[in-house]
């Protein structure tokens, strides 16, 4: 059963007002609820995609609930990428890219 619903047209500012910034898996993220920002969600940057798995990326692109790394947050400024990875994740850096092992 499809549980999606239609929202009235929103501006980006209205959509952002319905999101919240939270810490998710040790990374500061913006939580986008289901259906918020349809048609106005910002494009994902390459660094954001690095910290998201394919399921999360597809959820965001399909206007579903998603946690998107907030790359403008101070936690991303000037830190080695190893420090930004969730501690519980089994990851290492290979050629500057986070890789699961």
| Contacts of 41 by beta carbon, 8 Å cutoff, 6+ apart | 15, 32, 60, 63
Task: Enumerate residue ranges in the chain where pLDDT < 70.
Answer: 1-9, 72-101
The Cα diameter of the chain in Å comes to 45
**pTM, whole model, 2 decimals?**
0.65
Q: What are the domain boundaries of the chain? A: 12-100
Burial category of 1 from C-beta neighbours within 10 Å (exposed 0-12, middle 13-18, buried 19 and up): exposed
Per-residue pLDDT, 30: 94
Per-residue pLDDT, 89: 53
> 58: how many CB neighbours lie within 10 A of its CB?
12
Q: Looking at beta carbons, which pairs linking 73-77 to residues 24 or more positions away fall under 8 Å?
A: 73/21, 73/28, 75/27, 75/28, 76/28, 76/47
Q: What is the rounded distance in angstroms from the CA atom of residue 30 to the CA atom of residue 24?
A: 9
């Amino acid at each position: 059963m499809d549980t999606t619903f239609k929202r009235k047209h929103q501006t980006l500012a209205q959509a952002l007002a319905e999101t919240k910034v939270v810490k998710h898996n040790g990374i500061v993220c913006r939580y986008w609820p289901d259906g918020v920002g349809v048609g106005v969600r910002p494009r994902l940057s390459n660094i954001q995609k690095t910290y998201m798995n394919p399921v999360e990326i597809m959820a965001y692109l399909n206007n579903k609930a998603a946690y998107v790394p907030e790359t403008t947050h101070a936690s991303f400024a000037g830190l080695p990428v190893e420090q930004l990875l969730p501690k519980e994740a089994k990851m290492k850096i290979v050629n500057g890219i986070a890789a699961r092992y």
